[in-house]
Amino acid sequence: MAERRVTVGWAEGLHARPAAIFVRAVTASGIPVTVARPGGDPVNAASMLSVLGLGVEGGEEVVLASGAGDADTALDRLAKLVSEGLDELPGTL
């Protein structure tokens, strides 16, 4: 399983608009991805309600993970999106 530990770069955390951007990027990746607080239970990163339910604030760390064989590139791009608080995913998945 591939994992990336990322500090959330959006000041508002994974709430509302940033969560929507993140979920859209995960869905576009075409691979199953989970997101969790370190040591917490992972949730489906393609589910807006699940991501919002984590209540992650800006500056907190999250763990992105996927068991897909080609997950490394997608996780790298998602990690960049989250850590830099971007408005859209860099490049294409």
Residues marked active site are found at 15
Helix, strand or coil for residue 27? helix
> Distance between CA 88 and CA 92 in Å, rounded?
10
Backbone angles phi, psi at 32, to 5 degrees: -75, 130
- Point out which residues pair with 5 in neighbouring strands: 63
